[in-house]
């Protein structure tokens, strides 16, 4: 079986073909897997690889806010054996996180796709508005079913 991380990089780049993503990098204790604005996990704590990019508001709206875009990503992920994992999904005025998981021979892997707003403004009677977003795709190494997370 092909490395699940390599498969993810291919279908993510197909899902968002106009976006330039970084090369995959291994997680460090300085980097976090963001679940939502108040929850994150040190990437090295569970061994993970990530690709990143910065999106403008139009790019964010095109790939994260359109239902058809999420449906296309779900379909591509499903073809590779990934299942949506809604316990990792989060959505709010400053960003979006989608979660997936895949069962392997020795455990499970998680895939987290997120975009978190930066350069955000708020005002009275106005919604939060962000001009740019840090997007990240993270794939964990296989975790044993006995791992205590």
Residue-wise pLDDT for 96-139, tens only, equals 999 999 987 778 889 999 999 998 888 788 788 899 999 999 99
Residue 26 falls within a domain, yes or no?
yes
Total number of domains constituting the chain: 1
The three-class DSSP label of residue 98 is strand
pLDDT of 99 reads 94
- DSSP of 91-123, one letter per residue? EETTEEEEEEEEE-SSSEEEEEEEEEEEEEEEE
Whole-structure pTM value: 0.82
At which residue do the structure tokens 């990792």 appear? 88
Whether 140 contacts 110, CB under 8 Å: yes
The three-class DSSP label of residue 79 is helix
pLDDT of 83 reads 94
Residue 147 falls within a domain, yes or no?
no
Residue 149 falls within a domain, yes or no?
no
pLDDT of 38 reads 64
Judge whether residue 44 has pLDDT over 60. no
Residue 80 falls within a domain, yes or no?
yes
Residue 35 falls within a domain, yes or no?
yes
CA distance linking residue 61 with residue 95, whole number of Å:
10
**In the beta sheet, which residues pair with residue 143?**
108
pLDDT of 148 reads 46
Residue 145 falls within a domain, yes or no?
no
Judge whether residue 143 has pLDDT over 80. no
Q: Which domain holds residue 38?
A: 4-140
Residue 134 falls within a domain, yes or no?
yes
What is the phi/psi pair of residue 91, to 5°? -150, 140
DSSP state of 23: P
């Amino acid at each position: 079986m092909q490395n699940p991380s390599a498969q993810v990089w291919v279908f993510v780049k197909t899902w968002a073909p106009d976006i330039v993503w970084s090369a995959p990098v291994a997680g460090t204790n300085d980097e976090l897997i963001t679940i939502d604005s108040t929850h994150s996990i040190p990437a090295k704590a569970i061994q993970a690889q990530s690709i990143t990019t910065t999106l403008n508001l139009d790019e964010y709206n095109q790939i994260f806010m359109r239902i058809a875009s999420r449906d296309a990503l779900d379909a591509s992920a499903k073809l590779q054996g990934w299942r949506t994992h809604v316990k990792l999904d989060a959505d709010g005025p400053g960003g979006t996180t989608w979660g997936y998981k895949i069962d392997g021979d020795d455990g499970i892997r998680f895939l987290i796709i997120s975009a978190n707003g930066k350069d955000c403004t708020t005002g009275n009677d106005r919604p939060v508005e962000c001009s740019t977003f840090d997007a990240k795709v993270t794939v964990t190494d296989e975790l044993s079913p006995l791992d205590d997370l």
